[in-house]
Amino acid sequence: MGYDYDLFVIGGGSGGVRASRVASQTGAKVGLAEEFRYGGTCVIRGCVPKKLMVYASQFSELFEGAAGFGWNVGEPSFNWAQFMAAKDAEIARLEGIYSKNLKIAGVTLYDARAIVTGPHEVTLASDKVITAKTILIATGGWPFIPDFPGSELAISSNEIFELKEQPKRVLIVGGGYIASEFAGIFNAMGTQTTQFYRSEQILRGFDNEVRDHVANEMRSKGVDLQVNMNVTSLKNVKGGIKVVQEGGGQFEVDQVIYATGRIPNTAGLGLEDVGVELGEKGEVKVDQYSGTSLPSIYAVGDVTDRLALTPVAIREGMAFVETVFNDNPTAPDHDLIATAVFTQPEIGAVGLSEEEARKLEEIEVYASVFRPMQHILAGKDEKMLMKLIVSKGSRKVLGCHIVGQGAGEMIQLAGIALKVGATKEDFDRTVAVHPTAAEELVTMSTPIR
């Protein structure tokens, strides 16, 4: 039978946009439905506006340190409304580029919610029915706030980017990327910041030494970070929100932000009704080629709950096109993916943590903790951490972990080294770039354990 489209994509985020554009370039007829704004979580309410907020917040420390380098700076002040207007303008510009590039590529856009109503059929909110040979689900994830007394008073990371006023006091609940990043942002902007995490240490999944280092530095910068702690209830009171915590303690804040996880955005999409298998969290279950339990339907990105990272969604979208439209079955490579967490101080990591590596084989650990040159005249005690995990047998560098300024930039290049199987001796043969913090990666000569 004839279909309206060779490919119809639901979701205009990073994965869906890339798959749409590249598929269209193969000659396929492509349609895409997006119910909100093009760019998805990353561009509209995620990594892009978050990174702009990180940049804005970091100026407070730069102003503080400037005097040590001979600068006389007046009393600095931060204008939340002015920053938010500039941020909104940049996001609008990027959104326009996304939709423009899709149109240039020949993709037909539908600014509407779409649900799957058959193996080859989607229905728009307008009741328009569209048929497609292949359907791609790329609807991403959505913040999750648990149900407890007063939970309706909390906001998620989505709403942070729409706040009209900077809160003077904030409680952030959670211990992952988002919670820890926003604790640093609000604290550096001058907000009295408290962070609760229900377990023993923030940033679960990262190297334990990295986790401890970051948590200690966050506290030294002024974040009231409390682990093994949770909220019992929230209540509106005059002038703010009353927080009742485990153990019975109470305090008031202006805003409570929950960053306790994200769930795949599949609710109401009709997937189970047509036979697409979902997992316990609602994630679309896929094979190595991003195929679902129905041969005509695929899924990429956060909705599959594999690795919730923008570049991963893009790679999955590219691999999907290779598989379906270029007759070249390609599985996305999820191994040795470098990542950055824009906490303050920031983290860059690739490969295994010390704990993971020890479970697999005998290892050597090389680490250096030092005060970088930039902090000395500024009068700051903040330390950087560099750490390499090395296989005793193969000598390969199994993991690289960096905490401090520029960690995200450095880990991109370290990721290349690990991807090609570099050994500790390859690192040692590399002449240091001096004076830099990064030179520590190639000058650590003696294992510490």
Q: Are 418 and 400 in contact (CB under 8 A)?
A: yes
Question: Is 334 among the residues known to form the active site?
Answer: no
Q: Which residues pair with 350 in a beta bridge?
A: 400
3-class DSSP string for 352-403:
CCHHHHHCCCCEEEEEEEECCHHHHHHCCCCCEEEEEEEECCCCEEEEEEEE
Q: Among candidates 340, 303, 82, which has minimal Cα distance to 189?
A: 82
> Could you give the C-alpha distances from 233 to 151, 175, 200, 291, in angstroms and in order?
7, 19, 21, 42
Largest CA distance in the chain: 75
Q: Which of 120, 213, 334, 434 is catalytic?
A: 434
* 396 burial via Cβ count (<10 Å: 0-12, 13-18, 19+): middle
Residues present in the chain in total: 449
Query: d(Cα 339, Cα 282) in Å, to the nearest integer?
Result: 25
Token pair of 303, please?
């909705």
* 222 burial via Cβ count (<10 Å: 0-12, 13-18, 19+): middle
Helix, strand, or coil here: 19?
helix
* 336 burial via Cβ count (<10 Å: 0-12, 13-18, 19+): middle
Query: d(Cα 440, Cα 449) in Å, to the nearest integer?
Result: 17
Burial profile 346-384: b = 16 or more Cβ within 10 angstroms, e = fewer: bbbbbbbbbeebeeeeebbbbbbeeebebbeebebebbb
Q: What is the CA 346 to chain-centroid distance, rounded? A: 13
> Could you give the C-alpha distances from 325 to 5, 7, 26, 287, 331, in angstroms and in order?
13, 10, 7, 17, 14
Contacts of 449 (CB under 8 A, 6+ apart): 364, 365
Q: Among candidates 53, 380, 348, 43, which has minimal Cα distance to 185?
A: 53
Q: What is the CA 285 to chain-centroid distance, rounded? A: 21
Q: Which residue numbers are catalytic?
A: 434
